Structure 1
């Protein structure tokens, strides 16, 4: 799966001269949290709802309504945006984009192709990618098997299910400790308990079945 499979294409954008109050109105209207900032068709920054609220006058301010409106009208996105944000491309593997977001502690990545903004991918999009990768919207069973890191172990396990005529809808690996992995499989059958017992008789440790 790649960024292009999960991103929001042609996102709503604003300019650095957009008033803060207008940017917040756009965010509230469209129920989004990030807005790319463009100038002459090029990405120059990004603003977040949190960043906009941080520089907005507090509702508890002693300023009059007139004074508050005057300040809000003067404040622009340029004062709240993150300049030259980290970006990604449509052909970046989704897991690499997720790693960048995690390591830099950011909530989104603008997506550029040939220097042009073509999309944005957010934490919400990453969760949706996880749902799709695990095929969670289809009914079935879930089996977690512990296996050691040795050549042929995946072939052995997948062959077991092939011989049973069972489809593996998704498979993920997690290294629990050096050389020991938990394999999480989602299967196209409602109950995998009999299969779990058979795998145990073959020497595999079953962590969970549901």
Structure 2
């Protein structure tokens, strides 16, 4: 899936000479946590978050000093330079950026102009949709050797039973690179006959591990 499919195109922006107070008002008004800062060409020159404002402003007990800080330009506290992504980047790359740089929002730019934003919440929602967990379904986890042909062999069994697969994920088994876990979410509320058949064919079903089924 591409960034352009999940990005928010209706972006609230400010310029560097706007005040911290204006940024705070926009954050509260739109119920958002980040505002890209752009120049006259609509290029991203910085980004500000609600945390940046909290860190900059002193205690509310110091009301007069607090007001003076809020009158400063946001340029004084914005993060710059800014990590950006392209609309045709893959969402997996966004997840890696969020994790490695410990950020929760990235502006999306094309031809050096802001065209959208993606937040950590947007990405999490999309990943939930991709897992198929929002649909009525069952999950099966099968441990297989890490070699070619295992996924087609497993899915063939599902196809023969005419069971629709909502999603498939594959990840390594612990620290054993010779094994993989295939996680399938399927559109049936009674996976027991399928689990029984998988075990009869010699596959190790890790989940659900239901007592009484064939070993």
Query: Shorter-chain TM-score category?
Result: over 0.9
In the alignment, the residues of structure 1 paired with residue 61 and residue 68 of structure 2 have an alpha-carbon distance, to the nearest angstrom, of: 16
Indicate the larger mover: 166-175 or 4-13: 4-13
1:176-199 Cα deviation digits (max 9, x unpaired): 231211111111111212211211
Give the conservation status (yes or no) of the 8 Å contact 1:147–1:183: yes
The aligned counterpart of 1:204 is: 203
The aligned counterpart of 1:103 is: 100
1:55 aligns with 2:56: yes
The aligned counterpart of 1:11 is: 11
In the alignment, the residues of structure 2 paired with residue 25 and residue 174 of structure 1 have an alpha-carbon distance, to the nearest angstrom, of: 44
Residue of 127, 131, 134 corresponding to 2:128:
131
Give the conservation status (yes or no) of the 8 Å contact 2:58–2:65: no
- Aligned residue for 1:166, secondary structure, equals coil
Runs of at least 5 residues in structure 1 that lack an aligned partner in the other structure: none
- Aligned residue for 2:182, secondary structure, equals strand
1:143-181 Cα deviation digits (max 9, x unpaired): 111111111101101111111101111000111231211
Within-5 A mapping of 1:42-191? 42-61=43-62, 65-73=63-71, 75-176=72-173, 177-191=176-190
Give the conservation status (yes or no) of the 8 Å contact 2:108–2:116: yes
Runs of at least 5 residues in structure 2 that lack an aligned partner in the other structure: 210-215
In the alignment, the residues of structure 2 paired with residue 137 and residue 155 of structure 1 have an alpha-carbon distance, to the nearest angstrom, of: 25
In the alignment, the residues of structure 1 paired with residue 92 and residue 66 of structure 2 have an alpha-carbon distance, to the nearest angstrom, of: 44
Q: CA offset at residue 67 of structure 1?
A: 4.6
**With structure 1 as the length reference, what TM-score do the two structures score?**
0.93
> 4+ residue runs of structure 1 moved beyond 6 angstroms?
none
Q: What is the alpha-carbon root mean square deviation over aligned residues?
A: 1.5
In the alignment, the residues of structure 1 paired with residue 181 and residue 66 of structure 2 have an alpha-carbon distance, to the nearest angstrom, of: 56
- Aligned residue for 2:143, secondary structure, equals strand
Give the conservation status (yes or no) of the 8 Å contact 2:144–2:181: yes
Q: CA offset at residue 131 of structure 1?
A: 1.2
In the alignment, the residues of structure 2 paired with residue 66 and residue 155 of structure 1 have an alpha-carbon distance, to the nearest angstrom, of: 68
In the alignment, the residues of structure 2 paired with residue 51 and residue 32 of structure 1 have an alpha-carbon distance, to the nearest angstrom, of: 13
**With structure 2 as the length reference, what TM-score do the two structures score?**
0.91
Give the conservation status (yes or no) of the 8 Å contact 1:10–1:117: no
Give the conservation status (yes or no) of the 8 Å contact 2:37–2:45: yes
Indicate the larger mover: 131-140 or 147-156: 131-140
In the alignment, the residues of structure 1 paired with residue 171 and residue 61 of structure 2 have an alpha-carbon distance, to the nearest angstrom, of: 49
Q: CA offset at residue 71 of structure 1?
A: 3.5
Give the conservation status (yes or no) of the 8 Å contact 2:86–2:108: yes
In the alignment, the residues of structure 2 paired with residue 71 and residue 184 of structure 1 have an alpha-carbon distance, to the nearest angstrom, of: 52
